[in-house]
Structure 1
Amino acid sequence: MSAKTISIIILTALLTIFLMVNTDPVDFDFLVATVPVSKLLVIGVCIIIGFIIGFVVGRPRKTLSSYDDDIERKAQTTDSKKELSDEDRDYIS
C-alpha cells in the first residue's frame, strides 16, 4: 500500500474515533426552539459541509488562457496532419 492510502486510512480511523467519543447531546438553537442534538451529528455535518466546500473551491477550473491553449494545440495537430489546399487558401484570403 502507498503512503497516501495508509494516511487516508489512519485519518479516517481517527475521525471515526473522534466522532464516536463525542456523542453527548448539546442544545442546538433554531429560530424559535432549542433542540437537543448529538455532538456526533453536529460535528459530522460540519465535516461533510467542509469537504464539499473544499472540493468545489479547490478543483481546477478552465480559464480563458487554457481554452486558448486548447485551440492552439488543436490547430497544431490539424496543421501537422493535413495542409490546406490551394483552393482553401484562395477562399480564405
Structure 2
Amino acid sequence: MSGKTIFIIILTALLTIFLMVNTEPVDFDFLVSTVAVSKLLVIGICIIIGFVIGFIVGRPRKTVTSYDAEIERNQPVSTKKELSDEDRDYIS
C-alpha cells in the first residue's frame, strides 16, 4: 500500500472514532426553531459539506490557453496559423 492510502485509512479511522464519541444530543438553532440533534449528525454533515466544497474549489479550471489549445485541436490542419514574431513580442 502507498503512503497516501495508509494516511487516508488512518484519517478515516480517527474521524470515525471522533464521530462515535460525540453522540449526545445538542440544541441546534435553525432560523426560528430549535431542534435537538445528535452531535454526530451535525459534525458529519459539516464534514461532508466541507469535502464537497473542497472538491469543487480544488478542481482544475479551464484557462484561456486551454480553450485556445482546444480550438486549435478542432481546426483542420490547413487553417492553423502560426504567430508572427511581432505577435509573440506583443503577447509577452
What is the TM-score of this pair, normalised by structure 1?
0.74
Show the counterpart of 1:16.
16
Q: How does 1:61-72 map to 2 (within 5 A)?
A: 61-72=61-72
Show the counterpart of 1:6.
6
Q: Which has the larger radius of gyration?
A: 1
Report the aligned-residue RMSD: 2.1
Matched length: 79
> Runs of 5+ in structure 1 lacking a partner?
85-93
What is the TM-score of this pair, normalised by structure 2?
0.75
Percent of aligned pairs with the same residue? Answer: 77
> Runs of 5+ in structure 2 lacking a partner?
80-92
Q: Secondary structure at the match of 2:60?
A: coil
Q: Which 4+ residue blocks in structure 1 deviate beyond 6 angstroms?
A: none
Q: Deviations over 1:34-89 (max 9, x none)?
A: 111100000000000000000011100111111113344x38xx64xxx79xxxxx
Distance in 1, matches of 2:68 and 2:18, equals 47
